[in-house]
Chains A and B, each alone.
Chain A
């Protein structure tokens, strides 16, 4: 069950992490000029 929970969270967590990373990268222009 633990492996299934980890795999399920990874399946949704990885795309979310990608989106967050890309957004933070874009948002960083606000602070770097």
Chain B
């Protein structure tokens, strides 16, 4: 590893402010969050490659599966080499993915888009997603939920930025494209140009993150912070568990189940948001909700997803990680049941419940690193988080499969009524109940899995040797 990227070169000197770390993390997460804005150019790619929506949707699915796999495989490497190296590698993969994707579009080779944006870009996504997590937790031992909430909020925010920006750029590169007209489709060359532009802009942004990020010195702690206070909470350990040992504990798999159930349930709404609100308020074949208003509903959900990532994760610092997941899953169940049974009686109620469910979906993502820190310590929390993200990949496949299977049996989304959604929504309630029970079963990790106690905290660099 080149010295400028090494962990040893980025140990913060005296006077360095920890408030520079969240913007560094946000710079990376805002860029990789673009993956949730692929719907902007989906129709353009369908027309350009003269293929189906499913074939284009595969690009996104590959990227999400690769995110989980690369986070799991490279987590230990990220912990060992530090956040700067991880951010640089992530930027190289993520931006190369755009460049290869642009080549695939320009040469009419869809497989190159799968390989570029899906596989190579997806590796960048996974490494980028976990790159700042353990560093943030070490800089904010007093408020890890706040710290990870800020960064992972950026992942939700990335789509909010990329979506309107992409529309404007495509209109710039293809003057015949009207972003305000839902029937207008941009040319393939406009999407290729968009990919090249995003690659350049994201590379600069991610390099800012890499240049800014630092790790705290071993003896650093926030002013006024007393680590012994952590011992007062039964669910917060001061011991350390390696990534290899963590995956042998029931706690890891219980949390895996919790994340899988929470994400699958959120995807249940996200997947069909626009047609769903139209179908819920359909009478006599005509919906009271127009396509434009349904688009507004998707925007409200995006805000709920982003706000939940910050607000709920920050709240978990005060009420604890296990109780907050009981809220996500328990109140989520109540919200889903209400939505399924009486959601069609009021638009305001429908929107409010969906907003709440999506805020829990976002909160589930951003609180889990702090939950892992509480259970397994800071030693290899990045690597453990990476392995846990395979639950996201699994949910990314299972969620749409479950929802689409139920809805396909009823007809075509966009032409249904509220009753048609009931089986799918009640299935999500069952999934949340499984997650709720799994969370209830989480107990502190047995001492037999702890790393041997030493004078100082074990260095992540030693992880590769030990694990």
- In the complex, how many residues of chain A place their beta carbon closer than 8 angstroms to a beta carbon of chain B? 22
Q: Kindly list chain B residues whose C-beta atoms are within 8 Å of the C-beta of A5.
A: 17, 19-20, 23
Q: A23-B299, A27-B303 are in contact. Are A12 and B293 (CB under 8 A)?
A: no
Do A27 and B296 touch (CB < 8 A)? Answer: yes
B23 CB contacts on chain A under 8 angstroms: 5, 8-9, 11-12
Q: Determine if A30 and B30 form an interchain contact, defined as CB atoms under 8 angstroms apart.
A: no
Asked if A12 and B20 sit within 8 Å, CB to CB, the answer is no
B300 partner residues in chain A, CB cutoff 8 A: 27, 30
- In the complex the two chains form, is A33's CB within 8 Å of B293's CB? yes
Among the interface residues B27, B157, B161, B292, which one has the most CB atoms of the partner chain A within 10 A?
B161
**B161 partner, pick from A4, A8, A11, A15, beta carbons under 8 A:** A15
Task: Indicate if the CB atoms of A19 and B17 lie closer than 8 Å.
Answer: no
Q: Looking at chain B's contact residues, is the secondary structure mostly helix, strand, loop, or mixed? A: helix
Q: A22: which B residues are within 8 A, CB to CB?
A: 160, 163-164
Contact B157 A26 (CB under 8 A): no
CB within 8 Å for A24 and B299 given contacts A5-B17, A9-B23, A29-B292:
yes
Quote the shortest CB–CB distance from B14 to chain A (angstroms).
11
CB neighbours (8 Å) of B27 from chain A are: 11-12
Question: Contact between B293 and A29 (Cβ–Cβ < 8 Å)?
Answer: yes
The answer to whether A23 touches B19, judged by C-beta atoms less than 8 angstroms apart, is no
User: Which residues of chain B from 380 to 420 have a CB within 8 Å of any chain A CB?
Assistant: none
Per the 8 Å Cβ criterion, residues 1-23 of A in contact with B are: 1, 4-5, 8-9, 11-12, 15-16, 18-20, 22-23
User: Are A26 and B154 in contact, with the CB atoms below 8 A?
Assistant: no
CB-CB < 8 A to A26: which residues of B?
Answer: 295-296, 298-299
- Does B212 belong to the interface (CB within 8 Å)? yes
Bound: A18/B367 CA distance, A = 26
Complex-state Cα separation, A19 to B24, whole angstroms:
18
Please determine whether A12 and B295 come into contact, CB atoms closer than 8 angstroms. no
- B residues less than 8 Å from A28 (CB atoms): 296
Q: Are A1 and B157 in contact (CB under 8 A)?
A: no
A11 touching B303, Cβ below 8 Å: no
- In the complex, A15 Cα to B168 Cα: how many Å? 14
Is the CB–CB distance between A30 and B20 below 8 Å? Answer: no
Q: Does B208 contact A (CB under 8 A)?
A: yes
* A20 vs B285: C-alpha distance when bound (angstroms): 34
Q: Given the complex, which residues of B lie within 8 Å of A11, measured CB to CB?
A: 23, 27, 208
**Chain A residues whose C-beta falls within 8 Å of the C-beta of B157 in the assembled complex:** 16, 19-20
User: Which residue of chain A is the closest to B292 with respect to CB atoms?
Assistant: A29
A17 to nearest B CB, angstroms? 9
* B20 and A23 within 8 A (CB): no
Looking at the assembled complex, report how far the CB atom of B348 sits from the nearest CB atom of chain A, in whole angstroms.
9
The interface centre, meaning the residue of B154, B165, B296, B297 with most chain A CB atoms within 10 A of its CB, is B296
Residues of A within 8 A of B160 (CB): 16, 19-20, 22-23
Whether B302 sits at the interface, judged by CB under 8 Å, is yes
Contacts of B208 in A (CB 8 A): 11
Bound Cα distance A9, B208 (Å): 12
B130 located at the interface, meaning its Cβ lies under 8 Å from any Cβ of chain A in the complex: no
Do the beta carbons of A29 and B163 come within 8 Å of each other?
Answer: no
Q: B129 CB to closest chain A CB, in angstroms? A: 16
B30 close to A24 (CB less than 8 A): no
**Which residues on the A side are within 8 Å of B154 (C-beta)?**
12, 16
Give the contacting residue for A1; candidates B17, B162, B351; CB below 8 A.
Answer: B17
Chain A positions within 8 Å of B163 at CB level: 19, 22-23
Residue in contact with A8 in the complex, picked from B24, B165, B295, B351, CB distance below 8 Å: B24
Choose one: A1, A4, A24, A29; the contact of B295 (CB below 8 Å): A29
Report yes or no: B17 in contact with A12, Cβ–Cβ below 8 A: no
Docked-complex contact B19 and A30, CB < 8 angstroms: no
CA gap between A29 and B15 in the complex, in Å: 48
Please name all residues of chain B whose beta carbon is closer than 8 Å to the beta carbon of A33 when the two chains form the complex.
Answer: 293
Known: A18-B161, A27-B296. 9 other contacts (CB 8 A): A1-B15, A16-B26, A16-B30, A16-B154, A16-B161, A18-B164, A19-B157, A26-B298, A28-B296
- Return 14 A-B CB contacts under 8 Å, by A number: A8-B23, A12-B26, A12-B27, A12-B154, A15-B30, A15-B161, A16-B157, A20-B303, A23-B160, A23-B163, A24-B299, A26-B298, A27-B299, A27-B303
Chain A residues with a Cβ under 8 A of chain B? 1, 4-5, 8-9, 11-12, 15-16, 18-20, 22-24, 26-31, 33
A-B pairs, 9 with minimum CB distance: A19-B160, A30-B296, A19-B161, A27-B299, A29-B296, A22-B164, A8-B23, A26-B299, A12-B26
